């Protein structure tokens, strides 16, 4: 029976770090502040915003939420971003995406000031992840994968890791972070053939395909550590589920992150930590 790699204890340990950092900053008259910019009222965005606000509050990080109407113009969006870029009391900016189709998300992403890019979306931050220079911040979800493995003492060096998903938000940066830590990494994606044959070879399997329940027993072998990044609302049961069928994985894998209560909980704790680290860098 797989050990549950719960996100709560990992998030709590990260929050302790953030509290300590926020305490140092308070002594220097600075309160780390994250601006969350949302366009429209997508339930997913609002739920992520609530989770992040709660986790930041527990860590001594202020969250300032700004919401623009669904039909906002590109110009007004860019103005709002520019105002946050210039505001010295704001240390981190999270732009919730995807944006409505009439907006140019690429232009918005590129407009973020790199020092304030606490979710690692700009090219500069991603370059830091790919070169290993340590400049900028890694995307929070990708970093959450590594933080969970480290917290539970699961070795990465020399292990075979298979990452399903090649997005710049999760799959690709997670693969780079695992490789930087000495894993031999295979990235699988929608064009990959014979996926189960590849995933069965993994010591560490990271599922970030965004397909509910796509990982079943045929993808798994005993002893594996499975990190399930997927988050889906199951329309039949109205519960949250991952990319991995937990009923199939639990009897086979050695360890598995639950959904909910796994990667998602850690992601927002990392966002708070990055904001405090950004505030320190901006002193
Ligand atoms: P995305 O849609 O941008 O990317 C999905 C990737 O999976 C693509 O690269 C695609 O090639 C690959 N893929 C799709 N179907 C596949 C298949 N059948 N076989 C192999 N590869 C396949 O999604 P994303 O933004 O990377 O997010 C992935 C998942 O992670 C989603 O479920 C999302 O909700 C979740 N997510 C969770 C958190 C968190 O905090 N836990 C944060 C961000 C995203």
Q: What is the pLDDT along the chain (283 residues), one digit of tens a residue?
A: 999 999 999 999 999 999 999 999 999 999 999 999 999 999 888 988 999 999 999 999 999 999 999 999 999 999 999 999 999 999 999 999 999 999 999 999 999 999 999 999 999 999 999 999 988 999 999 999 999 999 999 999 999 999 999 999 999 999 999 999 999 999 999 999 999 999 999 999 999 999 999 999 999 999 999 999 999 999 999 999 999 999 999 999 999 999 999 999 999 999 999 999 999 999 9
Quote the pTM value.
0.96
Residue 166 CA, closest ligand 1 atom number:
9
Ligand 1 site-directed mutation target among 126, 143, 165, most atoms within 8 Å of CB:
165
Query: Is residue 37 classed exposed, middle or buried when 0-12, 13-18 and 19+ CB atoms within 10 A define those classes?
Result: buried
- Cβ atoms of 100 and 94 closer than 8 Å: no
- Name which of 143, 107, 112, 105 is nearest 36 in CA terms: 112
Question: How far, in Å, is the centroid of ligand 1 from the Cα of 166?
Answer: 8
Separation of alpha carbons 174 and 162, rounded Å: 10
Q: Would you give the DSSP letter of residue 34? A: E
As given in the structure block, the two tokens for residue 154 are 């699961």
3-state helix, strand, coil in the chain (%, to 5): 45, 15, 40
Separation of alpha carbons 9 and 11, rounded Å: 5
Question: How far, in Å, is the centroid of ligand 1 from the Cα of 32?
Answer: 30
Identify the sign of the CA torsion 162, 94, 111, 107.
positive
Is 195 touching ligand 1 by the criterion CB < 6 Å?
A: yes
Question: How far, in Å, is the centroid of ligand 1 from the Cα of 192?
Answer: 14
Question: How far, in Å, is the centroid of ligand 1 from the Cα of 89?
Answer: 34
What's the pLDDT tens digit per position in 174-195?
999 999 999 999 999 999 999 9
Is 210 touching ligand 1 by the criterion CB < 6 Å?
A: yes
Is 141 touching ligand 1 by the criterion CB < 6 Å?
A: yes
Question: How far, in Å, is the centroid of ligand 1 from the Cα of 88?
Answer: 34
Backbone angles phi, psi at 133, to 5 degrees: -75, -15
CA angle, corner 167, sides to 180 and 234, nearest 5?
120
């Amino acid at each position: 029976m797989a050990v549950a790699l719960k996100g709560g204890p990992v998030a709590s340990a990260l929050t302790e770090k953030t509290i300590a950092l926020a305490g140092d900053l308070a002594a220097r008259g600075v309160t780390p502040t994250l601006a969350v910019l949302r366009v429209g009222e997508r339930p997913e965005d609002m739920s992520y915003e609530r989770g992040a606000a709660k986790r930041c509050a527990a860590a001594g990080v202020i969250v300032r939420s700004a919401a623009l109407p669904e039909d906002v113009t590109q110009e007004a969006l860019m103005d709002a971003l520019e105002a946050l870029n210039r505001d010295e009391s704001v240390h981190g900016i999270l732009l919730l995406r995807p944006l409505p189709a009439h907006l140019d998300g690429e232009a918005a992403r590129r407009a973020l000031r790199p020092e304030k890019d606490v979710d690692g979306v700009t090219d500069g931050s991603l370059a830091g992840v790919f070169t290993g220079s340590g400049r900028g911040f890694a995307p929070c979800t990708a970093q959450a994968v590594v933080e969970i493995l480290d917290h539970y003492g699961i070795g990465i060096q020399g292990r075979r890791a298979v990452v399903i998903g090649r997005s710049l938000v999760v799959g690709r940066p997670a693969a780079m972070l695992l490789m930087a830590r000495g894993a031999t990494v295979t990235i699988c994606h929608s064009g990959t053939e014979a996926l189960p044959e590849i995933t069965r070879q993994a010591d560490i399997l990271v599922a970030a395909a965004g397909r509910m329940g796509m990982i079943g027993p045929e993808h798994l072998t005993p002893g594996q550590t499975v990190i399930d990044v997927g988050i889906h609302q199951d329309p039949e049961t109205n519960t949250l589920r991952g990319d991995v069928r937990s009923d199939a994985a639990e009897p086979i894998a050695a360890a598995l992150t639950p959904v909910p209560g796994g990667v998602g909980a850690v992601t927002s704790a990392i966002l708070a930590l990055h904001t405090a680290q950004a505030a320190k860098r901006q002193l």
